[in-house]
Structure 1
Amino acid sequence: MTDSRYTILVVEDDPDAAGYMRTVLERSGMDPHVVSNPQAALALLNSKTFDLILTDIELPGMTGLELTERVKKTRPDLPIVVMTAHATLDYAVNALRLQADEFLFKPIRKPQLVEVVTRLVEQARAAARPTNIVLAIGAHPDDVEIGVGGTLAAHQAAGDQIVILTMSRGARGGAVDNRQDESLAAAELIGARLFLNDLEDTRISAGDPTVGIIEQVVAEVHPTIVYTHSSNDRHQDHVAVHRAVSVATRRVPMFACYQSPSATVDFRPNRFVSIDGFTDTKLALLASFASQAGIRDYLAPDFVLATARYWSRYGGGVYAEPLEVVRDATGLRANATSQAVGHAATSLTTPTSTTSEAEGSVLDD
């Protein structure tokens, strides 16, 4: 069975072949509409939206190749599968020249028909789906992966472009070369582009050069969504990066802040992203930072899962990552953010701070 109901236009003048395709497609959960000639097909295309066309070549009044050529002039994005019982090279070459997406020889077996239709429809839908460009910014290696590792994995699954900007190489937390290699390995796991800078660990400024570095990356990648540290954090670098990001990404439609292990009780998320199905990826991302595993308890898998389990009580699913949404001028785009950030909980009651933690002390990464 398919994941959704595809609407298929079948153009076939042989009643037996038409009946066979109708039966196969219906039993596979699809919605076939069968016509016997190209003129009827063109008329139906003017009144109804289809996901794919299956057409024979030998048809009355117009060939399937001529139909393909006419349709592709106005609907180049609509997949067309050309079928024939005459296995000749000329037919295949002409079909491909006229932009047919697939050429099938009859008789067509059920598994082949279902596979071809499903593949082409899903490819067309993926190509038509708008994508977000997600920029995740952290002060040190592993900050982003801890805060929004699951969310980034969900964005990747939705087809979004992922960019990670790390402001320092975390020299206070381990050997710089090791941390660089670990950052690259983590980025590769989710197909992210990595910008790794070398600002001084624990002494990152909220002004320049931090703002300038972020502005340069923003100008290059044109993000639609930015994730970074919260201002409610005890680590001086995290707070500085938050302030710099607030300035440098002021024209980016969506800006949200993630939770770090050093976040204070004043961290108040208003959106909770379900990461069900992406916890394994998040754990794999964190496992990339092997140099930190023995010295950072919060990287332990049970700690990570327990934290995500806790936040799910405010959103949907079993595991969630919390976000403080500072700005959302997008209304959350329908594709990635509905899947990756779709469990919006702005109407839910958020945790209330009852105590305050001391801020301003210098912390190591």
Structure 2
Amino acid sequence: MRIAVLKERAAGEHRVAATPETVKKFSALGGVLAVEAGAGEGAGVSDEAYREAGAEVGPAEAVVRDADIVLGVQAPDPAALATARKGALVAAGFDPFGNRARVDAYAAAGFEALAMEFMPRITRAQSMDVLSSQSNLAGYKAVIAAANAYGRAFPMMMTAAGTITAARVFVMGVGVAGLQAIATAKRLGAQVSATDVRSATKEQIQSLGAKPVFVEEVAGIEGEGSGGYATEMSEEYQKAQAELVSSHIAKQDIVITTALIPGRAAPRLVTDGQIATMKPGSVIFDLAVAHGGNVEGSAPDEVVERHGVKIIGYSNTAAHLAADASALFARNLYNFLSAFWDAEQGRPVLDEEIGDAVRLTRGGQVVSERLKG
């Protein structure tokens, strides 16, 4: 079973889909790992480290030739896989809703595309969930980047010259990224508050020592919502939430927004009018900027200043922590494929529950139910 790992081609993508650790683990299953020269440079992994772990290292065309499985952070152009085996598995991030043309191209090329971002949010798939592992790091990085742009201290400091008050941090959206953002801001000594449309997150916010800020007079989502994600709310709730946020955001120094709805543009959480109420020198980090943005006026990989407030956000936040992000992503991929590894056949044989959830293409067709209709 030949497993190929190519260097990522997307702009700003420094992660890699395999590490020396996972090379050794796949080799122990009987896999032959082939890694493109330079694939790990952005994540601090040398070609020699891959060789020492037992991988072949060479040019892309040699790595892909006769590959049975291709691993990627972002799915490569299917044209680059022309010499892989017919029906080869490609496990990577596909952005299926945002890049449907690539999915269709994989179907036409005859590959079996497995979208890691479609991993179901079930207990036995937790160790395979790339969205959670990468969002965790993104939530951390958002706070660190915001703290750097803020230019003031986060914790309260009592000195002989006087007291410096703690920064006020408001986290909007309490999924994996939001929870890590809360925890990171608390560790830095900030006074933290957070909000979400899902009522179950109130206890999670409190457990991290932060203050929950919730609409009380209009019902939100009970429980966790579909697959752990929020969904679009009623107009009544959106209006009530906007009023609540407007009164709260004016007092904040840092705002971190994290809200995403799968398959749709990111919901607008912060308007220009609300930004205008914030103190000059405040900072907003929009973690959803690559999906349309939660914040009016935000732009990927740019610092936008409005009303004296800095608005920042990365198009690929996890890639700013490439070494750790690669280590986690690579483990997710290994955990996924090894869980279904059939020793007799020498390859993974996916079950229906997880296999059907992540499979986009097979036998020349787009087979994902989420992409039909």
The two structures share one fold, judged by TM-score above 0.5? no
Query: Which one scores higher on RCO, CA 8 angstroms, separation ≥ 6?
Result: 2
Q: What's the TM-score, normalizing by structure 2?
A: 0.30
Q: Which has the larger radius of gyration?
A: 1
Q: What's the TM-score, normalizing by structure 1?
A: 0.30
